[in-house]
Amino acid sequence: MIEQRKAAESAAAGSCSRPVLMFDSGIGGLTVLREARVLMPDRRFVYIVDDAAFPYGAWDEPALRAHILSLFGALLPRYRPAISVIACNTASTLVIDALREAFPGHSFVGTVPAIKPAAERTRSGLVSVLATPGTVKRQYTRDLIETWARKCHVRLVGSDKLASLAETYMRDGFVDETVVRAEIAPCFLERDGARTDIVVLACTHYPFLVNRMRKTAPWPVDWIDPAEAIARRALSLLSGSDRARPPVQPRGAEPDVAVFTTGKADFATRRLMQGFGLTVPEMAGT
């Protein structure tokens, strides 16, 4: 009995030591990582930056789908994560179902536009979804509107520049506010005496710019950032043993890491990752 109990405890400890894998084309997933760390403070994280394929908006859909599926075919056996979070709206709306079908024994958490909570909160009935062009054109996004926001007027706004602006801002500390103003301007609609009162941030990069958005917006709105909800969903899907709080890891335990699919990161990017508590291994790659 003692040996069986020790074996069970060992298996549970091993399960708890498995990392959470965060995946994005760039730095946007760091907004989700930040919230996940609050909920899972002793969990190890592996943050995958698919910078070799950034930006995803430049890809044809079939090629991008095949690329991401192939990438996860290598990532899952390498890192053996307890769960994978696709911290990217563009990737999630395109490939989340295909990932679940291809890897049925593994749990995936997707990131989709927060249209349901926006429809529940709006008072004016005017909601805008600020996203990448890829997310805007997906049928997945339109199905969410049809399901949850039939009584609202939902404006889909595709931005070609905001994700790259967020990358530059987080690395260099500067962003052109006139460009931010121009990119968000289509979100603001006045209709029959009512105004847009909610803007859904449907790209995980965008919360990094939300203070600039507030500053340049023509009037105040509620900006919905789904990062916390995504982190809570990830925690809820972990198995019972995986949810258990693992013991504080001893010195020398594996650190949280950021892995770049190009196998390299410049100085500013390394510094950014270190600021989020992530180590960038030398010559890291998938």
Edge-first strand order for the sheet with 20-24 is 108-109, 83-86, 20-24, 45-49, 257-260
Query: Which one of 222-231, 239-248, 262-271 scores highest in mean pLDDT?
Result: 222-231
DSSP 58: G
DSSP H helical ranges for 103-226:
115-121, 133-137, 139-148, 162-172, 177-184, 210-216
Q: How confident is the model at residue 4 (pLDDT cuts 50, 70, 90)?
A: very low
Distance CA 233, CA 47 (A): 17
| pLDDT tens readout for residues 178-207 | 999 999 999 999 999 999 999 999 999 999
Q: How confident is the model at residue 120 (pLDDT cuts 50, 70, 90)?
A: very high
pLDDT tens-place string over residues 50-109: 999 888 877 888 999 999 999 999 999 999 999 999 999 889 988 999 999 999 999 999
pLDDT category at 134 given cuts 50, 70, 90 is: confident
Contact 57, 133 (CB under 8 A): yes
DSSP state for residue 110 in the 8-state scheme: -
Triad 97, 22, 86: Cα angle to 5°: 20
Q: Pick the closest to residue 37 from 211, 210, 280, 275 (CA basis).
A: 275
- Check pLDDT > 50 for residue 7: no
Confidence band for 239, pLDDT divided at 50, 70 and 90:
low
Given 16, 152, 187, 203, the catalytic residue? 203
- pLDDT for 264 equals 84
**Helical axes 177-184 vs 162-172, angle rounded to 10°:** 150
Q: What residues form DSSP beta bridges with 49?
A: 24, 260
First to last CA, the chain: 42
Given the residues 16, 88, 152, 187, the one annotated as active site:
88
Residue 152 annotated among the catalytic residues of the structure: no
Is 187 among the residues known to form the active site?
no
Q: What is the pTM of this model?
A: 0.83
> What is the C-alpha separation between 118 and 94, in angstroms, rounded?
22
Helical H runs in 17-50? 30-39
Judge whether residue 240 has pLDDT over 70. Answer: no
pLDDT of residue 183: 97
